[in-house]
Amino acid sequence: MKNIALALAISSLALVSAPVAFAHHSAAMFDFGKTTQVTGVIRQFELINPHMRLALEVTDAKGTRLIRFEGHSLNNMYRAGWRKDMVKVGDKLTVVIAPKRDGSDGGYVTSGITADGKRFGMVSSAEQAKALAEGKP
């Protein structure tokens, strides 16, 4: 009887924890050796765990479409200067991203630039040098 109860307990634990284990993924899909900028209108912005979520409506040579991005954890994004109320749906935002390795839309957000030129996030030294050369803070 104890063996049956133990087997049921282990089975239940496995069933409950399986979705959590599969919900998180590796960042290997992003090419952190490259960066690119994408500009669009914010349609979703959630500064939450396990990853920041952002959706931009982008219009470019491919047409107008919704592109989804992710970022670091809430804690890391906060330390990099992101705040929940700093941008909102409808705002224009340029994001610096590590693109997806397969070339599809989306990427990993490292920093942002608001329509009025305010920069925040995990800005690389190359981005800082460029901003200083352009006379931007």
Contact 66, 44 (CB under 8 A): no
Which one-letter amino acid corresponds to residue 119?
A: R
Cβ neighbours of residue 69 closer than 8 Å, sequence gap 6 or more: 38, 53, 54, 55, 56, 95, 97, 106, 107, 108, 109
Domain boundaries, the chain: 36-133
Per-residue confidence at 26, pLDDT binned at 50, 70, 90? Answer: confident
Q: Kindly state the average pLDDT of the residues 110-114.
A: 92
Classified by CATH at the fold level, domain 36-133 comes out as OB fold (Dihydrolipoamide Acetyltransferase, E2P) (2.40.50)
Q: Is pTM, for the whole model, over 0.75? A: no
Please give the Cα distance from 66 to 119 (Å, whole number).
23
pLDDT the model gives residue 32:
87
